[in-house]
């Protein structure tokens, strides 16, 4: 059905082939669908870069491939075919396995989500501790989150409780009760 539409568009417009129009409609990928297998030079390059970076002193930044590739290529060109095979057999197997694992591996979104939530909760915890320090909030109960109760108790409320102060009735307080009424408590 889509192919017939692509042919119909091609017959009307004629500027592009039906295959190109079909690819546009289906939004096909422009990337290669196959990959080249690992070659011996890539394996040799990988091994040599490991040796070069291991030889660096601690604290120095690692060398990039494009900085060293000409030296490594010159060394590669001086080697015989047997030396190349001997130098790259193990590395070629490891490189092939690494590529295969990369292609066949899957992203574990559950673990990523867990780490995202944990990081977010740590940030919320730090922010609540900062609010606690700046507003003198004494306590925060986990059960209050579930049942909709008061989440925090201010320092002033703690002092009023220690001074045997009880909750205010539902009527609006007078002006002289301003501080205690804002806190929701009154003296007995």
Residue 156 falls inside a structural domain: yes
As for how many domains the chain has, the answer is 2
pLDDT at 142: 46
Secondary structure of residue 137 in the 3-state scheme: strand
Q: Which domain holds residue 151?
A: 138-188
Write down which residue in 74, 100, 126 finishes a domain.
Answer: 100
Would you state the pLDDT for residue 26? Answer: 77
Sign of CA dihedral 115, 117, 120, 125: negative
For the chain, how are helix, strand and coil distributed in percent, rounded to 5?
A: 65, 5, 25
Q: 85, 100, 115: which is the final residue of a domain?
A: 100
Instruction: Please count the other Cβ atoms lying within 10 Å of the Cβ belonging to residue 8.
Output: 12
Banded pLDDT at 52 (limits 50, 70, 90): very high
Reported as a pLDDT band with limits 50, 70 and 90, residue 14 is confident
Instruction: Tell me, yes or no, whether 123 lies in a domain.
Output: no
**Best CA proximity match to 135, nearest among 119, 148, 151:** 151
Strand segments (E) across the chain: 137-140, 152-154, 165-167, 185-187
Q: Higher pLDDT residue, 80 or 145? A: 80
Judge whether 175 lies within some domain. Answer: yes
Residue 183 clears pLDDT 60, i.e. is over it: no
Examine residue 59 and state whether it is found in any structural domain, yes or no: yes
Q: Judge whether 8 lies within some domain.
A: no
Q: Is residue 61 part of a domain?
A: yes
Q: Is 43 exposed, middle or buried (0-12, 13-18, 19+ CB in 10 A)?
A: buried
- Give the pLDDT confidence of 110-133 residue by residue, as tens digits: 787 888 888 888 888 888 888 877
In a domain, 105, yes or no: no
pLDDT-based confidence at residue 161 (cuts at 50, 70, 90): low
CB-side exposure of 174: number of CA atoms within 13 Å? 1
**Residue 58 counted as domain residue:** yes
């Amino acid at each position: 059905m889509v192919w017939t539409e692509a042919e119909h568009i091609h017959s009307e417009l004629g500027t592009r082939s039906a295959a190109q129009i079909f690819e546009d409609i289906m939004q096909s990928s422009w990337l290669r669908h196959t990959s080249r297998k690992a070659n011996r030079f890539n394996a040799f390059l990988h091994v040599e870069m490991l040796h070069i970076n291991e030889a660096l002193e601690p604290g120095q930044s690692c060398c990039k491939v494009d900085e060293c590739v000409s030296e490594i290529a010159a060394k590669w060109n001086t080697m015989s075919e047997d030396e190349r095979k001997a130098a790259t057999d193990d590395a070629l197997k490891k490189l092939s396995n690494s590529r295969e694992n990369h292609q066949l591996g899957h992203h574990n979104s559950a673990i990523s989500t867990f780490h995202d939530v944990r990081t977010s909760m740590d940030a919320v915890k730090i922010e609540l501790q900062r609010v606690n320090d700046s507003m003198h909030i004494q306590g925060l109960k986990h059960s209050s989150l579930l049942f909709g109760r008061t989440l925090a108790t201010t320092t002033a409320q703690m002092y009023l409780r220690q001074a045997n102060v009880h909750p205010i009735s539902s009527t609006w307080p007078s002006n002289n009760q301003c501080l205690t009424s804002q806190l929701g408590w009154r003296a007995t």
